[in-house]
Structure 1
Amino acid sequence: MKMGDNDAGVALNKARGGMVMQSKKRRFGLSGKLVLAILAVGAIPLVISLSVAYYRGSNELQNVIGASFQALAEGSAAKVDAELQRIITVDRILAQQAEDDPKVRAELLGDQSRGKNSPVVQFDWPPAAETEPVIDALKASRVTGLEGVSSPSDESAAAKVTGLYLDSATQQHTLHISTPIHDGKGTIPIGWLQRDYDVKKLFDPIIYPIRFGGTGHVMLINNSGAIISCPMLLTGSRIEDRTLLASVTKNRAGWTTAENDGHGRDVFSIAGYAPLAGVNALLPPGESWHMFVWQDSREIFAPAKSLLIGVLLAGLLSLGLLAALSYYASSHIVKPIQRLRREASRIAGGDLSQPLAIHTGDEIEELAGELDEMRIQLRQHISTLEDKVEERTRELKENQAEKDRVTEQLIQAEKVAAIGTMASGIGHEINNPLYVIMGRAEAIRDEKDVSACNEYARDIIKQTKHISAIVKNLSGYIRPASQHELEEIDVNEKLAEALAMAKLSLLDDRIDIRQNFVPVPKIFAKHEEIQQVFFNVIRNGIQAMAGNKGILEVTTTLEDNQVCIRIKDTGTGILAEHLGKIFDPFFTTKGPDEGEGLGMFIVRKIVTKYNGSITLESQVDKGTTVTIRFPGVEPI
């Protein structure tokens, strides 16, 4: 009795039913997935590059702005230093003129002869008519005796600045500078020339013109945070943020970032600073003046944000164009691959009657040829499977002399039956690389970079070779063992191939496969028979765990100079009364569609054929362990 193509299709469709139901649930077609994949490939680098560019650009902009603010602070500090040095120079010239004035000397020298309780000598000098016209900020100029200074220990100083204070009479902030007046020899101080200057008139003409942007400006402060001159804050007001103040009142120039702008707002800011070295040398101990440069951070980073938005809009436009082009390519370029997928699905569904003819002149055509070769072999073996099994089984019972030959044919029939059950899995395994091939073909259509096109072409060749290897592996597996000679076999390699074949259609997602392979000697046998041994045992283990979670553990070791293979499952186990019959021909506990009871019989035949041994341990509801041993042909 022969199995026709239609009967084969019905049998294979049962195994494929679950995959069909899953395909109906797909939300997106192939074109939609390709478009989404290409958009992701374009969007991810765009987002990463924009993020990196913005981060690096912001840091570099911050460094440039900080260095610029530092240079501006140093330049402004130098201007204020120069102005104060000019004022002090004028005061020194006047002090020398006072030394030469007989009236001033008489008053001051006469003061030294007075007692301690006498009033302090103090009078306005020089007269208003003689006051230099260039000092518009001058408020008062007077000469005092030595008692007129607040710190007698400083009498030998050339000049000193007492700092910033509020004039209670005028409510104006004043800067006080004291210059010593010496005797005729210029060595002994006899009094002081004390002059008061209006801070705003003195420093505002220097500080106010230094503006940049809408908010950028410089300000003069002291180390306690008092504002000496600022175009935005009142003189005498203070910077309350102690952290910011400590950062900008150092004895060296620099720049810093802070979470306060020094103007009462808690926002990120960049500030440049520089000390007034010349002025600080004349100030009382513990007091220092500093130049502070600031600009609103929103104004600083506005150009960078504007540029980022522009680049982002351009990137979105590029993604839109990329989506349109990818959709066009997916609709017109991948048709041969889509047809190949449909043909593979038809073969997986059991329809082996139609030849597969695709003419593209490339690797896709070669892949189609391999698939058609597989279709022909499947059709031939499926159509003769039942006749061969019945004929060889009858001959085995009638003639014991034909036992070895029939056993060989049963082994081949078992392999063909296994291939038949894996047909749907084969189509699924081939479909996955086809999706990759379609994506790369579409990318080549749109890509202008030759190097990128070469990379995509290499991916297509890689996936095509992968599918070709699957087909060749299966074709070699189903060839009769008589066509091969004995050879040295790597057990670990054959175990890996058997696991790969089992995954084509047998493996449940809930089954965890664990491999623990160690280097072991090779064995001497026919590779297709050893692969069938491993495949049958692995298949039994997976079927024992069908519908449940489980673990399939495959290990190799070297024990007593023998190659030892253990295949352990956590399935239902084997009843004690069945253990002695496992290796009997035609004994099975499976359903009528799940096996003929030849699997383990064939396994033991092959193992003993090569001087090996097989043992089986099993516990109901705990699992089964199959141990296979072969003599090695070489040391490790």
Structure 2
Amino acid sequence: MANYAPSIRKKITLGYFAIVLLIIGLSLFAYLELSYIEQKVIAGEAISEFFDTTLEIRRFEKNYVLYTQRPDYVENRSYVDKAQALLETNKAAFEAIAQPATLRILREQLSRYRDLMAHYALLSRSQSAAYIDEAQLEKMKLEGMIRMAGKTITTTAEEMSKTERQKIQRLLNTSQSVLLFSLVFLSIITIAVGHFLSRLVVRPLKMIERNMEVIAEGNFDSIKIDSKDREIASLTRAFNKMLRELELRQRHIVQSEKLASLGTLLSGVAHELNNPLSNISSSNQILLEEMQEARVSQSDTPQAAGGPFPDPAFALELLSQISDQAERARNIVRSLLEFSRDREFQKVVLPLKKLLEETIRFIKGQVPPNVTITLDIPDDLMIPADKQRIQRAFLNLIKNALEEMLLNGSITITAHKHTAHEKSGADESGIHNYLKYRGKCTLEEDTVDIQVVDTGPGIPADILPKIFDPFFTTKDVGKGSGLGLFIVHEIIEEHGGCIAVDSEPGRGTTFLIQLPLKERT
């Protein structure tokens, strides 16, 4: 018993056998009931035949009394013999509906009736020639006795026949009720077993279906199904194993996407580093030339020894420029290292405008000449965020907008504080009325609302709800992983915020990011 593992197959088989046994039991009961009714019907036929026989006895009795025809007496006598034979042949049937005393009296009455009819027939034959008053009186007396005995026999037979019919009727009514109850009971049991088996199988499958819907949205959490059945447990284990594999593969792909983003950054950083390095090189070259000229001048005019070599103020200015440009290059490299370093999620208060300026600087080398990026953000606007992750989200959004704009256009990034329950648009609900896909954006808390608006070609309405799905892309095979906006969505939700989008073909695209100013409790 310790190793017993319940399974759907066993439960279905058990339910099947339970229904089969129930049907067999009810069928056996119905068979026995029908056999009993058959016996009662046979007994009822014998009793009905006995009653019909008594009626025939009385009919031929009356004919014989009226017409004194010998054949009538013979028929009467044969029916009396038949009645007596029926009583003996179907003794059990008669004893089931009548008291022993009643049957004893009935037998005695039949024997007495037979004797009276025999005496009456003998008297009729002997007095046929000479009719006398004494014989007539005796015949009349016999006729009265015969009628009384015949009436007793007929009445008793009628009562027994009526009793038997009533018993059969009650038995039929009972059988109908039992049959109806059996059908109802069988139907209820069948429905109950079917419902149980359906819940047994369908409920776990429904739970798996709901989990699959969550998985389709990009959540690869392991599924948990409250079922001890071996098949469901095995399916759950296999499904969770598949989820772990998918999650692992997605992490690899996300890492690849991160490396691709890093490549973009390196391109931008190379462009950014080129400027300070060029300035350092230029300043250094000028300073070297000045020093060489001063040295030549000193060697030509020894009397000038100890003079300025070169001009200290000018040299200090050049050295200051070299120091500033070196610091600028160091900041660029530090930002790159912060972006590329893999570390735990940690929120800090960041100046949003400075953060976006740094992010744009990373991607500056990727911006086409005829595309402008404009920031309209207050200098003192701060957000609580993980710098590395939120930069990656902004970088992916800007890259996505740049990829959609071919030759020219503009990207405008605006931000402002949003107070809880303050309306953001012209609609009654207060949620940005122009946003067709709102995600989980609400008006129930203080947030920083960041809008990224581009003048690109826009997104068709049928594609709009799918853009945050993992691996969804409209680009050709090999030209996009479909994870850019998915990563943005994941990062924003990791910060407790939400992202929404509105777009129409030919009118550009607007992304709204809401980041909470306070941690949710």
TM-score range, shorter chain: 0.3 to 0.5
TM-score (norm 1): 0.35
Q: Which has the higher helix share?
A: 2
Please tell me whether Structure 1 or Structure 2 has the larger radius of gyration of its CA atoms.
2
TM-score (norm 2): 0.42
